[in-house]
Structure 1
């Protein structure tokens, strides 16, 4: 069953189209990796799904519902969680306050922090009363993921979640992403530069160049030739 579908999608900053004629279909329960060199529109694609660009045209369906003209907050309440590049935790808020913020996108009024978040990222329990700005980069990424999960999303969108993070925490975050998908049934879209991880974890991939999708396929089709032609610098 399709959970997210884009059809002839264009997205603009001002009058300039950054995303051009993008079409893809994501099935429920999949991990989809969005790949490409720097500056080709990957982050803009994620922002377009969240309604964070100046304007978008074409088709964008989530669970069979047209969301193209919905506000970002409305999309979140429908079940789309987003962890942006740079994490954007609130530095003066405690870890607890940052996570509880995520619950305000829930429609059932539940403000409790799900226990499994602390099982996945034990350090967050230890640091519940520490300010978000005092955490390391890797700990802030774990906090940003926990905040998005606190809203109980159906789909999670992650923009380079392991960028600039110490290797031991990278492994924890990668394992958490696979766990969320395989064991908790959350569909995931991830912008990722780590090709081995994309090959291991993804069900399918899209490669972008100059604002367009130039290659798409199942993970087995992410060949060395595709990497050489579209992803090497």
Structure 2
């Protein structure tokens, strides 16, 4: 599994810098929780990693390669899996077709759906021929995660994967993310508002405010006082 290092990232929409000097490390197999109030730059950070903002300056290395100059598809092919907010599955495609879309980012050309995806999310096997648009929100989120995993990524980036999802599926998704990290060794970068889950699942946290890192550390250092100061509304 690869490491990722960001150094003094400035990311822009138009002429306005949304991220301002953000730096972080993701070591091999590590779990990093990105936290902060709404509108502070969390989603922009993930989009910057994927090359989805208007402009990004600074340094961003994945393994031994600088990737800021690469396109989004090129970054995916290096092994960065991304599950955006809103899931963005293709509603007219079946579950199988949506998952197979992920395999097109595989550099080895394989088009097989890994068996463990259906062990992790059995409902997807049951609904394999159903259109993605006919699934519930939680099932669509499971499908979006399976699609990203079908590309055999080295790290997985998730933007609030349990937001607005029915409670019985939230636990399944949280358990799957932890299992992918601890059992399969996937590096995880997770934007998450659920403080107890972020604290228990992650190794380290990054706290953003107004596009800057205001606090970073090991997850057991994220005290209730810090949560009250930086995360409560």
Q: TM-score, normalised by structure 2?
A: 0.99
Identify the residue that residue 162 of structure 2 maps to in structure 1.
162
For residues 112 and 26 of structure 1, the distance between their equivalents in structure 2, rounded to whole angstroms, comes to 29
1:27-176 pair list within 5 angstroms: 27-176=27-176
Alpha-carbon spacing, 1:152–1:224, altered in 2? closer, same or farther (3 Å): same
Q: What's the secondary structure of 1:128's corresponding residue?
A: coil
After TM superposition, the runs of 4+ consecutive aligned structure 1 residues lying more than 4 A away are none
Q: TM-score, normalised by structure 1?
A: 0.99
Q: What's the secondary structure of 1:151's corresponding residue?
A: coil
For residues 17 and 204 of structure 2, the distance between their equivalents in structure 1, rounded to whole angstroms, comes to 26
Q: Contact between 1:83 and 1:145, CA under 8 Å: does it hold in 2?
A: yes
Q: Contact between 1:30 and 1:181, CA under 8 Å: does it hold in 2?
A: yes
Partner deviation per Cα, 1:167-200 (whole Å, 9 max, x = no partner): 1100000000000000111000000000000111
1:16 aligns with 2:16: yes
For residues 20 and 64 of structure 1, the distance between their equivalents in structure 2, rounded to whole angstroms, comes to 24
Identify the residue that residue 188 of structure 2 maps to in structure 1.
188
Q: What's the secondary structure of 2:88's corresponding residue?
A: coil
Give 1:225 shift: 1.3
Stretches of structure 1 that go unaligned for 5 or more consecutive residues are none
Identify the residue that residue 222 of structure 1 maps to in structure 2.
222
**Total equivalences in the alignment:** 233
Stretches of structure 2 that go unaligned for 5 or more consecutive residues are none
Alpha-carbon spacing, 1:91–1:2, altered in 2? closer, same or farther (3 Å): closer
Give 1:220 shift: 1.0
Identify the residue that residue 3 of structure 2 maps to in structure 1.
3
For residues 184 and 195 of structure 1, the distance between their equivalents in structure 2, rounded to whole angstroms, comes to 24
